[in-house]
């Protein structure tokens, strides 16, 4: 074939209009090969161009030029448009041709063959070397880690503090495996599974690990998310494989952590069909759990902190027969957990687990472990030989509120507002009979948002009365009321307070039926899905609810202002003390403004003052809370 020179569209157009062309061939819908006619070949400019590419003797032979067009269709339409304007005899012959480029074809085939060989080698490696994980042909294998005699966990029940009831239950399950006849002799059946339920960080995983350490039977452990893979059907295959392995190793225990990853109730809050894969996995889990007999010697443990989202089929007896609930520890539990985590530290004599437990209401085991570790780090940073109580105090503050902002610039004026605001809460609460007692109040700025915080200790109770709600609202108003009384001006600092108050007021009126005008009616729907826009009451009722809420809140605010005006002196004392000391505890308040005028001693105080342990044990302060106050804008 003859070499061609490339040209651009304007040149081609000239050739067309001057009638220098004899024909055009469109090749592979990619370019056009242009052949000149006799007139065209006489043109000096074209001859010169061609002479660069080929020897002068073959210049006459077409095709001569090549035009690579950006788009076949555009070119063809434009070309025919032009052609149409010309008289018939001048029109040029256009052909289309498909040519295959031998070199390109050869390269394509070569690549194809190479790929095939590569794939073949890869497959041989994958099936041959058979190690665990990550390999395509093992994808349906379960990812469970197995602990048995050769591969031991060293955590024991002694590492798990508190949780006595949970430990009992779990120990019993281990007994079932070791000595089944003891239990089945009277006709009972051994449970198939137990579900550990509780808030994050309360030691569910830890407890399961301890079982692995103590059971003396093989222990498979994996997490709910280990079943999930991007390929369809893998989860179900893994479930089947897990149970197959478990049956081979029976008697044994299988532990599925964070089971909510697969156990979420089917078809809930999602587009239909959107998550078939997870459903399949769950179904196969249900089938497998039904499939093995109770005497097969496999017991399934699972843990979750979202029992509410679990599918009810999972929870029915015959699968997870037992639910072991693990709550946040009470003061005794916290003391025990502190003891476990204090043990490896080098401590100063003034560190007492009991005091620390008293200062950390609402902490879960994980937070306590964190406090102990932080304290050790803080002490090390201060070049101390031993960790002392001050380090622990700072660690608690840090875990609650985030890092202390040493260099955070707060104007003295703002600092005063914060101090009076917090003092307002403290004083109001002190003189309100049903408000929760204060544990600690701090105006050290921390973290990103908090300028101060107050920590309260809710009473050991589960039922709230109207009076308690109202006192609680008043105490929460203490901050803003103090600001208004002292500075005659309010700030944005009360945002989170107002939010809490509004929630409480709406709760009283529309949920708990505590409003005389609306009566004993509750618009709360426990079955309601999370996204529901229609309200179950009329416009008129809505207006009534709003009015009553407003009234309630106004009353509470007025009442708070009255209390604080009466106790203006005490407010002043506490605020001044806060400004100098920054952190005050309950006993500081007692020292400064006297005991609370309400005689009743809580079981909690009983426990701190002396170890009336029985009383404290009966109590449950799972609801203790920390209120980070004073949002910074």
Residues with active-site annotation: 422
Of the candidate spans 146-154, 365-373, 443-451, 583-591, the one that interacts with ligand ADP by CB under 6 A turns out to be: 365-373
Contact between 160 and 207 under an 8 Å Cβ cutoff? The reply is yes
User: Rounded to whole angstroms, how far apart are CA atoms 226 and 256?
Assistant: 9
Contacting residue, 7, 24, 289, 369, with ligand ADP by CB under 6 A: 369
Q: By CB under 5 A, what part of segment 584-613 binds Zn ion?
A: none
201 binds, among ligand ADP, Zn ion, Mg ion, none (CB under 5 to 8 A by kind): ligand ADP
User: Rounded to whole angstroms, how far apart are CA atoms 590 and 608?
Assistant: 15
Contacting residue, 471, 479, 545, 549, with Zn ion by CB under 5 A: 479
277 or 497, CB closer to Zn ion?
497
Residue for token pair 């051994």:
190
Find all residues with CB under 8 Å of 48, minimum gap 6, and list them: none
Contact between 390 and 350 under an 8 Å Cβ cutoff? The reply is no
330 or 460, CB closer to ligand ADP?
330
Q: Rounded to the nearest whole angstrom, what is the least distance from the CB of residue 204 to Mg ion in the complex?
A: 5
Contact string (CB under 6 A) for ligand ADP, positions 122-161, x = contact: --------------------------------------xx
270 or 323, CB closer to Mg ion?
323
Contacting residue, 197, 337, 396, 518, with ligand ADP by CB under 6 A: 337
Contacting residue, 33, 330, 497, 577, with Zn ion by CB under 5 A: 497
362 binds, among Mg ion, Zn ion, ligand ADP, none (CB under 5 to 8 A by kind): none
Of the candidates 631, 630, 629, 602, the one whose C-alpha atom is nearest the C-alpha of residue 615 is: 602
479 binds, among ligand ADP, Mg ion, Zn ion, none (CB under 5 to 8 A by kind): Zn ion
629 binds, among Zn ion, Mg ion, ligand ADP, none (CB under 5 to 8 A by kind): Zn ion
| Interface with ligand ADP: number of residues (CB under 6 A) | 18
Q: Rounded to the nearest whole angstrom, what is the least distance from the CB of residue 567 to Zn ion in the complex?
A: 17
Counting other chains too, the contacts that 203-207 makes at CB distance below 8 Å and 24 or more residues apart are: 203/160, 203/163, 203/326, 203/364, 203/365, 203/366, 204/257, 204/303, 204/305, 204/326, 205/257, 205/303, 206/155, 206/159, 206/160, 206/365, 207/160, 207/163, 207/166, 207/167, 207/170, 207/326
Q: Is 424 in the site for Zn ion (CB under 5 A)?
A: no
* Packing angle of the helix pair 412-430, 466-487 (nearest 10 deg): 150
User: Rounded to whole angstroms, how far apart are CA atoms 301 and 193?
Assistant: 6
423 binds, among Mg ion, ligand ADP, Zn ion, none (CB under 5 to 8 A by kind): none
Q: Rounded to the nearest whole angstrom, what is the least distance from the CB of residue 395 to Zn ion in the complex?
A: 24
Q: Rounded to the nearest whole angstrom, what is the least distance from the CB of residue 383 to ligand ADP in the complex?
A: 27
Q: Is 206 in the site for ligand ADP (CB under 6 A)?
A: yes
- H-run or E-run covering 252: strand 252-257
Q: Rounded to the nearest whole angstrom, what is the least distance from the CB of residue 369 to ligand ADP in the complex?
A: 4
Q: Is 204 in the site for ligand ADP (CB under 6 A)?
A: yes
Q: Rounded to the nearest whole angstrom, what is the least distance from the CB of residue 202 to Mg ion in the complex?
A: 9
144 or 451, CB closer to Mg ion?
144
3-state secondary structure 526-559: CCCCCCCCCCCCCHHHHHHHHHHHHHHHHHHHHH
User: Rounded to whole angstroms, how far apart are CA atoms 289 and 501?
Assistant: 47
Contacting residue, 202, 223, 359, 468, with ligand ADP by CB under 6 A: 202
Contact between 389 and 355 under an 8 Å Cβ cutoff? The reply is yes
Q: Rounded to the nearest whole angstrom, what is the least distance from the CB of residue 377 to ligand ADP in the complex?
A: 16
Contacting residue, 162, 235, 401, 478, with ligand ADP by CB under 6 A: 162
Residue 204's region, left for phi above 0, alpha for psi from -120 to 50, else beta, is alpha
* Dihedral pair phi/psi, residue 265, rounded to 5°: -60, 140
Contact between 64 and 4 under an 8 Å Cβ cutoff? The reply is yes
280 binds, among Mg ion, Zn ion, ligand ADP, none (CB under 5 to 8 A by kind): none
Of the candidate spans 224-232, 281-289, 361-369, 594-602, the one that interacts with ligand ADP by CB under 6 A turns out to be: 361-369
Number of Cα atoms under 13 Å in the Cβ half of residue 31: 14
Report the residue count for the chain: 633
Contacting residue, 4, 22, 142, 205, with Mg ion by CB under 5 A: 205
Q: Is 340 in the site for ligand ADP (CB under 6 A)?
A: yes
User: Rounded to whole angstroms, how far apart are CA atoms 477 and 472?
Assistant: 9
Q: By CB under 6 A, what part of segment 172-201 binds ligand ADP?
A: 198, 200-201
Residue for token pair 């009451």:
537
Residues that bind ligand ADP (CB under 6 A): 160-163, 198, 200-206, 303, 337, 340, 365-366, 369
Residues that bind Zn ion (CB under 5 A): 479, 497, 629
């Amino acid at each position: 074939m003859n070499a061609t020179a490339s040209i651009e569209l304007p040149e081609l157009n000239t050739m067309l209009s001057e009638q220098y062309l004899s024909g055009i061939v469109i090749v592979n819908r990619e370019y056009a090969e242009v052949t000149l006619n006799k007139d065209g070949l006489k043109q000096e400019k074209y001859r010169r161009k061609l002479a660069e590419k080929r020897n002068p003797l073959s210049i006459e032979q077409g095709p001569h030029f090549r035009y690579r067009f950006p788009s076949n269709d555009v070119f063809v339409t434009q070309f025919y448009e032009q052609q149409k304007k010309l008289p018939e005899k001048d029109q040029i012959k256009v052909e289309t041709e498909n040519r295959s480029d031998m070199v390109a074809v050869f390269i394509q085939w070569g690549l194809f063959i190479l790929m095939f060989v590569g794939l073949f080698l890869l497959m041989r490696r994958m099936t041959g070397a058979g190690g665990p994980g990550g390999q395509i042909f093992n994808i349906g294998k379960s990812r469970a880690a197995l602990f048995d005699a050769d591969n031991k966990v060293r955590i024991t029940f002694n590492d798990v503090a508190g949780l006595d009831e949970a430990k009992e239950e779990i120990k019993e399950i281990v007994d079932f495996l070791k000595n089944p006849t003891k239990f089945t002799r009277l006709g009972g059946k051994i449970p198939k599974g137990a579900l550990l339920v509780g808030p994050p960080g309360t030691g569910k995983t830890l407890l399961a690990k301890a079982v692995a350490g103590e059971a003396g039977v093989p222990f498979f452990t994996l997490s709910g998310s280990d079943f999930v893979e991007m390929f369809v059907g893998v989860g179900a295959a893994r479930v089947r494989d897990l149970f197959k392995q478990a049956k081979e190793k029976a008697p044994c225990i299988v532990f599925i952590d964070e089971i909510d990853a697969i156990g979420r109730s089917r078809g809930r809050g999602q587009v239909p069909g959107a998550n078939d894969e997870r459903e399949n996995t769950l179904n196969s889990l249900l089938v497998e759990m039904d499939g093995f007999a109770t005497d097969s010697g496999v017991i399934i443990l699972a843990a979750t902190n979202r029992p509410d989202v679990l599918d009810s089929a999972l929870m029915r007896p015959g699968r997870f027969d037992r639910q072991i609930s693990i709550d946040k520890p009470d003061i005794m539990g916290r003391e025990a957990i502190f003891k476990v985590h204090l043990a490896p530290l080098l401590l100063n004599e003034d560190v007492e687990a009991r005091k620390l437990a008293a200062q950390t209401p609402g902490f879960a085991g994980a937070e306590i472990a964190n406090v102990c570790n932080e304290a050790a780090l803080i002490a090390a940073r201060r070049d101390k030989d031993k960790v002392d109580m001050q380090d622990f105090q700072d660690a608690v503050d840090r875990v609650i509120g985030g890092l202390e902002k040493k260099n955070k610039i707060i104007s003295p004026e703002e600092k005063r507002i914060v101090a009076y605001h917090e003092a307002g809460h403290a004083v109001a609460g002190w003189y309100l009979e049903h408000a929760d007692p204060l544990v600690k109040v701090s105006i050290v700025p921390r973290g990103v948002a908090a300028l101060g915080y107050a920590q309260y200790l809710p009473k050991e109770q589960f039922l709230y009365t109207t009076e308690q709600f109202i006192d609680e609202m008043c105490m929460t108003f203490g901050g803003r009321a103090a600001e208004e009384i002292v500075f005659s001006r309010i700030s944005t600092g009360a945002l989170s307070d107002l939010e809490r108050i509004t929630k409480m007021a709406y709760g009283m009126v529309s949920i708990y039926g505590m409003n005389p005008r609306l009566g004993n009616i509750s618009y709360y729907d426990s079955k309601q899905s999370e996204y529901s826009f229609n309200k179950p009451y009329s416009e008129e009722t809505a207006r009534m609810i709003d009015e009553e809420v407003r009234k309630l809140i106004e009353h509470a605010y007025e009442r708070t202002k009255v209390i604080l005006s009466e106790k203006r002196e005490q407010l002043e004392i506490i605020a001044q003390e806060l400004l100098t000391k920054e952190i005050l505890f309950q006993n500081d308040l007692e020292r400064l403004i006297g005991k609370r005028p309400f005689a009743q001693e809580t079981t909690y105080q009983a426990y701190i003052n002396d170890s009336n342990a029985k009383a404290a044990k009966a109590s449950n302060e799972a609801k203790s809370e920390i209120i980070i106050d004073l949002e910074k804008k």
